[in-house]
Structure 1
Amino acid sequence: MQLGDATATWLSPRVAENDPAALSLLGMIHLRAAVAAARHQDRATATRLLNRAEELADDLGSDENYWHTTFGPTNVVLHRLSIELDLDNVSYVVEHGRLNVDHMPQERSVSHRIDFARALSLAGHGDDAFAELRTAERTSPQLVRNNPRVRETLRDLTKQSPVTAGSRSSEVFVMAQRCRAVQ
C-alpha cells in the first residue's frame, strides 16, 4: 500500500499529462494493491483501488503493454473477477467471468481461466470448470500444472465426480494426477 502511495506521488505529474506509460504503471500498481487488500478480506480498500485503476484504464482508453503491465480496461475486469473470487463472491464471477481473453498474454489469460474454473466448480458447474481448466492447460501446461488453485479445483471436481471407467470423471482424475492434485 505504501509503495502504491509513493508511486502515485512520484507519477502524478506524468499521470496528469495522461502519459500512457505512467497511467499503465500506476494502474497496475493499484490492481496489485487491490489484490493484496482482497486477500486480507478488506473489500472497501480493494474496491477503492479497483475503481481508481478503472479510471486510469479509461484514461488510457485501450489494452496496452507499457512497462510490460498489460494494463487496460480488460485487465481491470480480470482483476475485479479475481478479487471477487478472493472475497467469496462466487456468483459474481460465474455471472461475469465468461470473457474472451485470447488477446491477452498467456499468463493473464490462463490465470483468468483458472479463477473462472474455480468459481464454476464452487458453484457446482463441474463440466464447465473442467472445460476451462483443459483450455488453460492447452494454452500453458506449466502454469496450470504448478498452480495450487488448480489443484484445489481438481480435488473438488474429483469429489463431485467419482472415477468410473470411460467417463468424463476419468479425464478429471488423469488431469488431477498430472497436476499432482491426487496420488
Structure 2
Amino acid sequence: MTANDPFARLPEAATFTVTSTTVTEGSALPPAQLSGISGVPGGQDVSPQLSWTGAPEGTKSYAVTVYDPDAPTGSGFWHWAVADIPATVTELPAGAGDDTGSGLPEGAFQLPNDARASRYIGAAPPAGHGPHRYFTVVHALDVDSIGIPTDATPAVLGFTMAGHILGRALLTTTAETPGR
C-alpha cells in the first residue's frame, strides 16, 4: 500500500493481476486517457484496455473503477465505474467506456461518474496542482449482480460491494497538468 492509499481502510482482499496494452503501471497516462471533455490538449476520454488473471476462487462477477484520490474536492473524483461484469469476462477493450458502453459485456453497466456521465471521463488535474494518481481497480465479487440501480454513484457501488469483495487487482497511473 502506498502513502494515502484510498484502499487502506477497506476490508482486506486477495490480490490478483490487471494489465493493460494502453496504460502502464506507475507511468503517466497517454493522451487518449486524458479528458477531451475538459479540454486537456490531446485528451480523448478513451477508457483503457484492461486484462486480468488470477481472480480468487468463488468470483461470480467483477466491477471496475477508476478513481483520483488527489482531486481537490475532499472526496476525490470518480472517472469510471462499471458493475456486473460476468465472471467469464477477463478483458475490456480500449474504448469500452464510451457513451453507449459498446465494448462492455452483456449485463454490465456504467454508473454516472463525478461529472454525472455514464461513461469514462479522462484525467484532467487542475493546472499547477501537481501530479495526481489514478487507481484503476478490478474488484472480484462473490455475487452475480451487485444489485444497485444504474443511476447509483460510484461511492454507492463501493459501499455496496465492500462486503462482497474477494479480490482486488490494481493498476496505478499518474497525470499532471503544468501550471499556467
TM-score of the two chains, using structure 2 as the length reference: 0.23
Larger Rg: 1
Question: Relative contact order: is structure 1 or structure 2 higher (C-alpha 8 Å, sep ≥ 6)?
Answer: 2
- State the TM-score, normalizing by the size of structure 1: 0.23
Q: Which has the higher helix share?
A: 1
Looking at secondary structure, tell me which structure has more strand per residue: 2
